[in-house]
Structures are given as structure tokens and as C-alpha cells.
Amino acid sequence: MPSFTFPPGFRWGASTSSYQIEGALDVDGRGSCVWDRFTAQGRIQDGTSAATACDHYHRFPEDIALLKAAGFDSYRFSIAWPRVQPTGTGAVEPRGLDFYDRLVDGLLEAGITPMACLYHWDLPQPLEDAAGPQGGGWQGRDIIGPFADYARIVAARLADRVKEWMMLNEPNVVAIFGYGVGEHAPGHTLGEQGILRALHHQNLAQGAALRAIAAEHSGLTLGTVLNLQPSVPDSDKPEDVAAAARWDAVWNRVSLDGVLRGEIPALLAEKMDSFVLPGDREAIRYPIDLLGINYYSRMTMKHEEGHPFDVWWGEAQCRRWTGMAWPVQPEGLYDLLSELRTGYGNPAVFIAENGCAYDDVVAEDGQIHDAERVLYFREHLESVAQALAEGCNVTGYLCWSLLDNFEWAYGLAKRFGVVRVDYDTQKRTPKDSYHFLSAVAKSGRL
Ligand code: BGC
């Protein structure tokens, strides 16, 4: 692709999440969350934990300096609900809010626009344990009110300085891996119904939180972050085509059509009938100002019984594979952005996450020459550039992630950062990919 100049005002930055980087899990009155429990149950593959992670809770000034030196103007971080309300409801822990105060002030001083995400998976454990009639956590409607209250509390403290608010991060991943197949906290294997309930209740909680914040503040940019990955069939066989369509409905459309259109995908309506109540469609719809998209790859799906929705992963056609064994398919990002333009009225979107893990090596010169990650970013930015050239309303690109961090069920072994973290010394070393993104951000050119 010939050199491309991004439009003026196009935003550059990085994303992180509280649980993956903060560490300091037992300081300043923080309550426990479902990932603490999941870890204690021995469910993390490499046996590590997020107890220290990047120690960002104490080292955030250094991390802000890394963002600034890169020339990034935007940073998405998440707020840990159990720091703000240790039991998920009621009493507020001021020391938890103080931490985010310090972080936000530091970002603003560095000239970086803070974007706060309210929920990146650290659900207070008591909310999971308080099983209402339909089950705990995101299984029931009991969580809607507490989430809206939490949103109100955080916004009351920070909205004078934080103008951009994302409600959720990847409700589909929470629902499928946390409640459906048990690979993420809280580790339930509730199958289809568990997945759909968790999706619907996150939609409802999100709608309530958006309204709660909007009722008390004006001039904010309100949105949410979805993991959207085009679902393509493994073959032309009708059963695979149908399976990919079902997976598309589950993975992408419950969340996307929920918030943007107030719709439940027709393919799933019957399965969701028992818990979608009158008024819910109106409650989940909200005219968000900005949609965050996390894109990693397409999903190649086939019909296979014995899994939720009788769908399973097929064989992807791709350029290469990442260290997660995820296919590298930058075309999927272009397809996705194009579809949002043509099928959803071209809403304002930004890339809230895009990145890859590789088994990085520290070279003799002490640097990390992560050429594969650089190529990954380049190719995905080319897709963004192509989409922009065709009129897609993409406002910015935030890589995943600033730092190597706690990669959920994989533990610390998988490194997604553009900055290496040595977990023994906490030394940060910017990788070649950091310098690459920095050069693009500073020049506005690819
Ligand atoms: C999540 C991140 C995660 C990344 C890589 C996204 O699904 O939002 O928390 O680390 O992908 O797996």
C-alpha cells in the first residue's frame, strides 16, 4: 500500500485494563473479584497470578511517561469495581477512587486524554456469590442496579476531568468464556442459556449505566467496547454456513444490535424469550457517541455438535499465526469497519484494542526486535487506512497493549505489550513495535 496520511485529529494510543496491570490486589481496601477466586482455584495455566503483574498501581507515573514519549494522545484504562466498592454494592472505598484521581491527573498533565472503561472483567466476588433467582453475577437482573450505581459513583468523582466513558469491555467474551464454557472467571459451564443470559444482562446493565451517567453529567462522550470479529464459515456446506451465522449472532450481534438498534437477533430470539422482558429492547438501546472495537482476527466456524449452539472453530485461512495461535487476518478489520459503515449508519468508532502476543526474545543488545508484531500492526493499520479512505468513521487507534501483562487464563506467559515488562525487576523496555507505533503516531503517516 502506498504511504497513507491519517486525518487530522486521528487519535493514537494504547489500552490496558486494571486487573491485568495494577497488581496491589490487597491494598487500600480493595475487595476481591472473580479473577482472584479463579486464580486461587488453580485455573491459571502457567500458575502465575495478577498479584503484582506490572505493579502499575505504584508505577503508573513511569507508564504515563511511556505513553507520552511514544507521542500517544489517548489512553484507555479500566477502573476496578472492587477498588471503588469492595463488596460491589454500598460502601465506597475512597482510597480506591483516589488512585484513579492520581492516574487521571497524571495523564492530563502529560497531555494524554484519559478514556475510562468501567468494567474490564474484575467483578466483585460478592456479586457473583449473591445468587438471585436466576444465578449470580451476570446471570440475573440483580446486577443491573449495582452496576448503574457504581457507574454513577465513579463518574461523580472523575467526570470533571474524564470526558470519555466506556461502559463494558467485550461482554461476549465475559459471557462465553466466563459463563458458557468456563475458561474465564467465574468459570461456569452453563452453556447456551448461561451465555445468552450473561449477554442480555450486560446489555441491560450497560443501558442503565449510560442513562445514570447521562442524567447527572453533560458534555461527555459515552460508549462501550465490543469485541467484533467477522464470523465466516469453514466451508460452503449449508450446515457450516448456518453455524457461522449462528455464531455471528452470538458473538457479534447480541451486543452490537442490542445497543445500536435495541434488537435481539432473530436467530436467538426463541432461546432468549424466557428472560427478555417487555421494555428490555428499549432499555438496551442507547444512542452512544462512540463505539470501541477490539479486533484480533476473523472467526472461522463450522457445525459441530456437543458445543454451545453446535458451533466450533474450523480451520482459518490466514497469512500467519500469532503466539496465541490466533490467525493473522487484517482483512477482517477492513470488512468489519466497512460493514459498520454500510450496515449500521457509519457510527463513530475507534479501535480500542488490536495487537498480538509473541514469544519475544531479549536480544544481545538488550532490545526486543519484535518484527512480527510490527508487521501485525502495519497490516492492521493498512486495513484501517483503507477503511478511512472509503469513508469509514474511524476516529482513532489504540493498540493492545501498552505493557506485557496478566493475560487472563494464560497468566503472565503471553506477552501482548509494546513495552516489555521484566516481572522480576519490573523494568520496562520499549520494543521495536513501540517505536514503530510511536513513529506513526508522531508523523500521522503510515
Ligand atoms: C481483552 C484483553 C485481552 C486481549 C488479548 C481482549 O479480549 O479485552 O483483556 O488481554 O483481548 O487476549
Which atom of ligand 1 sits closest to the CA of residue 225? Answer: 8
d(CA 273, ligand 1 centre) in Å: 30
Q: What angle do CA 101, 204, 117 make, to 5 degrees?
A: 25
Q: Identity (one letter) of the amino acid at 272?
A: M
pLDDT of residue 1: 67
pLDDT of residue 131: 81
d(CA 402, ligand 1 centre) in Å: 12
As a whole number of angstroms, the distance between CA 144 and CA 138 comes to: 9
Nearest residue (by CA) to ligand 1, atom 10, is 407
Burial of 219 (0-12, 13-18, 19+ CB in 10 A): exposed
pLDDT of residue 135: 81
Which atom of ligand 1 sits closest to the CA of residue 173? Answer: 7
CA dist 72 → 255, 350, 379 (Å): 29, 14, 20
Locate 351 and state its grid cell. Answer: 479501535
Burial 110-146 (b: 16+ CB within 10 A, else e): bebbbbbbbbbbbbbbbbbebeeeebbbbbbbbbbeb
pLDDT of residue 331: 98
As a whole number of angstroms, the distance between CA 73 and CA 311 comes to: 41
As a whole number of angstroms, the distance between CA 130 and CA 419 comes to: 39
Q: Does residue 252 have a known ligand-binding role?
A: no
pLDDT of residue 132: 73
- How is the chain split into domains, by residue range? 11-443
Helix axes 94-109, 144-158, angle to 10 degrees: 50
pLDDT of residue 156: 98
Which atom of ligand 1 sits closest to the CA of residue 400? Answer: 4
Which residues of the chain, if any, have pLDDT below 50?
A: none
Q: Which fold has domain 11-443?
A: TIM Barrel (3.20.20)
Q: Does residue 22 have a known ligand-binding role?
A: no
d(CA 277, ligand 1 centre) in Å: 31
Burial 186-214 (b: 16+ CB within 10 A, else e): bbbebebbbbbbbbbbbbbbbbbbbebbe
- In whole angstroms, what separates CA 160 from the centre of its chain? 24
Q: Identity (one letter) of the amino acid at 251?
A: W
d(CA 15, ligand 1 centre) in Å: 10
Catalytic site residue 183?
no
d(CA 227, ligand 1 centre) in Å: 9
**Ligand 1 binding site (Cβ under 6 Å of any ligand atom):** 17, 20, 169-170, 173, 227, 294, 353, 400, 407, 416
Q: Does residue 20 have a known ligand-binding role?
A: yes
Of 305, 353, 372, 390, which one is the catalytic site residue? Answer: 353
Which atom of ligand 1 sits closest to the CA of residue 169? Answer: 8
pLDDT of residue 394: 98
Which atom of ligand 1 sits closest to the CA of residue 121? Answer: 9
Q: Does residue 410 have a known ligand-binding role?
A: no
Catalytic site residue 164?
no
pTM flag (> 0.85): yes
Per-residue HEC secondary structure of the chain comes to CCCCECCCCCEEEEECCHHHHCCCCCCCCCCCEHHHHHHHCCCCCCCCCCCCCCCHHHHHHHHHHHHHHHCCCEEEEECCHHHHCCCCCCCCCHHHHHHHHHHHHHHHHCCCEEEEEEECCCCEHHHHHCCECCECHHHCHHHHHHHHHHHHHHHHHHCCCCCEEEEEECHHHHHHHHHHCCCCCCCCCCHHHHHHHHHHHHHHHHHHHHHHHHHHCCCCEEEEEEECCCEEECCCCHHHHHHHHHHHHHHHHHHHHHHHHCCCCHHHHHHHCCCCCCCHHHHHCCCCCEEEEECCCCEEEEECCCCHHHEEECCCCCCCECCCCCECCHHHHHHHHHHHHHHCCCCCEEEEECCCCCCCCCCCCCCCCCHHHHHHHHHHHHHHHHHHHCCCCEEEEEEECCECCCCHHHHHHCCCCCEEEECCCCEEEECHHHHHHHHHHHHCEC
pLDDT of residue 376: 98
Q: Does residue 120 have a known ligand-binding role?
A: yes
Of 170, 263, 270, 304, which one is the catalytic site residue? Answer: 170
CA dist 151 → 5, 85, 156 (Å): 37, 11, 8
CA dist 104 → 59, 99, 166, 386 (Å): 14, 9, 15, 33
d(CA 274, ligand 1 centre) in Å: 31
- The answer to whether 379 and 330 have CB atoms below 8 angstroms apart is yes
